[in-house]
């Protein structure tokens, strides 16, 4: 029985480690190190740190962006944050939401937490001209909703192309 093989998650079920796909020798120690690196990359990505070699990273606050012909809408989940601690900016074609979520208890009193506290910043590239003076931001029940009207020029750039059956 090979104990090291059982520690490597992808060795179960007969699949090969990522090192094998690149033509390198499949070392259980190297595979374990790669898996540990991946876990650390994913763990720290949620705290505003770069996600290392992985392209997808989660950020905080969580955001949902939708778009119509006339406006862009961004909704940020900020549970536990106060309105006075949130700043919304338009910076070089990007929507920037930043602020700080403060803890209700001192660190010495806290035994365990999975909650996020501290400074945050999210940037959303808008990719088109907007009516800067008409942007609206509303914070209610822990959700920040930002509505960004598109400029007339940006509305005209979008041209709907009919699709026909071939």
Instruction: Give the pLDDT confidence of 84-112 residue by residue, as tens digits.
Output: 999 999 998 899 999 988 877 776 777 77
Whole-model pTM: value is: 0.56
Does pLDDT of 81 surpass 90? no
Report pLDDT for 75.
Answer: 96
Residues 143 and 67 in one domain: yes
Q: 102 or 138: which carries more pLDDT confidence?
A: 138
Residues 70 and 133 in one domain: yes
In a domain, 15, yes or no: yes
Q: CB of 101 within 8 A of CB of 31?
A: no
In a domain, 135, yes or no: yes
In a domain, 131, yes or no: yes
Does pLDDT of 145 surpass 70? yes
Q: What is the mean pLDDT of the chain?
A: 75
Report pLDDT for 116.
Answer: 74
Condensed to tens digits (0 to 9), the pLDDT of residues 33-68 reads 778 877 777 776 655 544 443 333 346 788 999 999
| Number of folded domains that form the chain | 2
> Domain containing 14: what range?
3-45
Q: 154 or 139: which carries more pLDDT confidence?
A: 139
Residues 39 and 69 in one domain: no
């Amino acid at each position: 029985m090979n104990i090291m093989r059982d520690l490597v998650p992808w060795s179960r079920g007969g699949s090969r480690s990522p090192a094998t796909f690149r033509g390198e020798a499949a070392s259980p120690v190297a595979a374990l190190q790669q898996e540990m690196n991946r876990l650390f990359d994913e763990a720290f990505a949620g705290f505003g740190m770069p996600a290392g070699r992985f392209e997808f990273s989660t950020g905080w606050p969580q955001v949902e962006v939708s778009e119509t012909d006339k406006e862009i809408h961004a909704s940020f989940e900020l549970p536990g944050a106060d309105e006075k601690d949130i700043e919304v900016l338009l910076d070089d074609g990007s929507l920037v939401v930043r602020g700080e979520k403060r803890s209700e208890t001192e660190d010495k009193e806290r035994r365990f937490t999975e909650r996020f506290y501290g400074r945050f910043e999210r940037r959303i590239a808008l990719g088109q001209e907007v009516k800067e003076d008409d942007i609206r931001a509303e914070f209610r029940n822990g959700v920040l909703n930002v509505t960004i009207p598109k400029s007339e020029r940006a509305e005209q750039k979008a041209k709907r192309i009919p699709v026909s059956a071939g």
